[in-house]
């Protein structure tokens, strides 16, 4: 039997504002079995989270007046597998959906970056020695040309994620679903700030109506993979690490022929992750409730390798373990985590599942 591992699971109840999710869950895997080992209470709807050392950062759509979001810092206790609140800050916008801890080479302290979906903003926060968040040191509102292809999703800017590039740690990349653009900003780490205009030519302007949602990076080649929620396509982007410019190299459809979304032009692709060996990537599609594996060739281009049902509704997020052998999918609308094994070819085999008391929206391997 393989050694036990743990996963940390964020939650959010979008569909019942009167009953928000209030816990982060710790789930243990032993062999092919998943079970809850711990949980701890947080501010409401802790939907996306990340670690830096023993500090946990999470974003929440906590209600306030006027309505805004919250970013919170928690001190993680590896002995009790729980966390205690350090402090919170306003997220500088509504519905924060992604948080990332960024540090450039030589930085004494990191910067926390976040994206606010409904607010159309991104923000940066300095971090103190004890992990506490300072007030926002920079925030930006996206603007650009809007397309009328999907009025209820592209009526305004919608930054859906934010990342520091892993190659030179100089560029911050932000896929904006509402503007069909992957924005690229220069990271001014000493000031916990971003530089660059929203009109910069370095940004990648994707096909109208595509709706880029999440990104993942090739481990050795300067290539970024953008998953487009509205068209269920993966866009392969060549990345010039000197200038920060992105250029489109390939676009691949990931839904089977003949499969159509319930809502016109809304395919519901959710999350994407490149395997550590760079030979494959995985993604989830909510329209057909699948996890898809794409093979990656020597040039970084992709092709379909495997497709498997997620055994649940709305596969919003998933985790690929560091050894590349296991995947846990978080099915938001059926409250279940589903465990798969995978191999070098990308083939997926269902192993087990676990139903949680709250809707899972994020899952990551716990390494602390």
Among 228, 193, 200, CA closest to 214: 228
**What is the predicted pLDDT for the residue at 64?**
47
Task: Supply φ then ψ for residue 191, to 5 degrees.
Answer: -110, 5
d(CA 324, CA 5) in angstroms, rounded, equals 13
**What is the predicted pLDDT for the residue at 67?**
64
Angle at CA of residue 335, ends 333 and 336, nearest 5°: 115
Q: Kindly report the number of other CB atoms within 10 A of residue 361's CB atom.
A: 24
For residue 318, the surrounding DSSP H or E stretch is strand 315-320
- Looking at every residue in the chain, the average pLDDT score rounds to 93
105-118: per-residue pLDDT in tens? Answer: 888 799 999 999 99
**What is the predicted pLDDT for the residue at 303?**
98
* pLDDT range class, residue 153, cuts 50, 70, 90: confident
Q: Kindly report the number of other CB atoms within 10 A of residue 364's CB atom.
A: 21
What percent of the chain stands above pLDDT 90?
85
**What is the predicted pLDDT for the residue at 103?**
92
Q: Is the pLDDT of residue 327 over 60?
A: yes
Give per-residue burial for 279-294: e unless 16+ CB within 10 Å, then b. Answer: bbbbbbbbbbbbbbbb
Residue whose token pair is 């062999």:
31
Mean pLDDT lowest for which of 55-64, 72-81, 174-183, 344-353? 55-64
Q: Which residues are bridge partners to 306 per DSSP?
A: 293
Q: Is the pLDDT of residue 265 over 80?
A: no
What number of residues does the chain have? 368
Mean pLDDT, rounded, for 300-307: 98
Task: Supply φ then ψ for residue 189, to 5 degrees.
Answer: -65, -35
**What is the predicted pLDDT for the residue at 1?**
43
DSSP string, 48-86: EEEEETTEEEEEE----SS---EEEEEEEETTTTEEEEE
d(CA 350, CA 310) in angstroms, rounded, equals 8
Q: Kindly report the number of other CB atoms within 10 A of residue 80's CB atom.
A: 10
**What is the predicted pLDDT for the residue at 149?**
64
Chain-centre distance for alpha carbon 24: 17
More confident of the two residues 197 and 350: 350
What percent of the chain stands above pLDDT 70?
97
d(CA 327, CA 34) in angstroms, rounded, equals 12
Give the torsion sign (CA, 274, 275, 280, 285): negative
**What is the predicted pLDDT for the residue at 258?**
86
109-151: per-residue pLDDT in tens? Answer: 999 999 999 999 999 999 999 999 999 999 999 988 887 667 7
């Amino acid at each position: 039997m393989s050694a036990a591992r743990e996963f940390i699971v964020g939650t959010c109840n979008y569909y019942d504002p009167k009953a928000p999710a209030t816990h982060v869950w710790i789930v243990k895997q032993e062999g092919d079995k998943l079970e809850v080992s711990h949980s701890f209470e947080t501010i409401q709807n802790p939907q996306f989270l990340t670690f830096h050392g023993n500090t946990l950062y999470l974003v929440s759509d906590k209600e306030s007046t006027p309505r805004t979001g919250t970013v919170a810092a928690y001190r993680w206790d590896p002995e009790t597998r729980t966390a205690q609140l350090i402090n919170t800050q306003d997220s500088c916008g509504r519905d924060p959906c992604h948080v990332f801890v960024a540090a450039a080479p030589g930085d004494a302290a990191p910067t926390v970056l976040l994206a606010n979906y409904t607010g159309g903003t991104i923000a940066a926060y300095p971090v103190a020695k004890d992990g506490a968040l300072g007030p926002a040191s920079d925030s930006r509102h996206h603007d650009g040309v809007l397309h009328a292809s999907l009025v209820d999703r592209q009526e305004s800017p919608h930054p859906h994620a934010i990342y520091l590039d892993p190659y030179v740690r100089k560029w911050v990349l932000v896929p904006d679903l509402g503007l069909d653009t992957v924005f690229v900003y220069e990271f001014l780490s000493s000031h916990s700030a971003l530089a660059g205009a929203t009109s910069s030519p370095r940004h990648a302007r994707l096909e109208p109506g595509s709706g880029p949602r999440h990104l993942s990076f090739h481990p050795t080649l300067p290539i970024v993979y953008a998953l487009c929620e509205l068209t269920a396509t993966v866009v392969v982007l060549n990345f010039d690490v000197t200038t920060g410019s992105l250029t489109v190299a390939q676009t691949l459809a990931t839904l089977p022929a003949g499969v159509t979304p319930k809502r016109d032009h809304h395919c519901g692709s959710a999350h994407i992750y490149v395997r550590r060996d760079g030979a494959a990537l995985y993604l989830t599609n909510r329209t057909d409730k699948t996890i898809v594996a794409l093979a990656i060739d020597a040039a970084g281009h992709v092709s379909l390798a495997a497709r498997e049902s997620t055994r649940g509704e709305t596969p919003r997020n998933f985790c690929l373990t560091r050894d590349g052998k296991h995947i846990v999918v978080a099915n938001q609308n059926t409250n279940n985590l589903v465990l798969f094994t995978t191999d070098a070819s990308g083939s997926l085999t269902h192993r087990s599942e676990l139903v949680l008391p709250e809707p899972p929206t994020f899952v990551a391997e716990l390494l602390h």
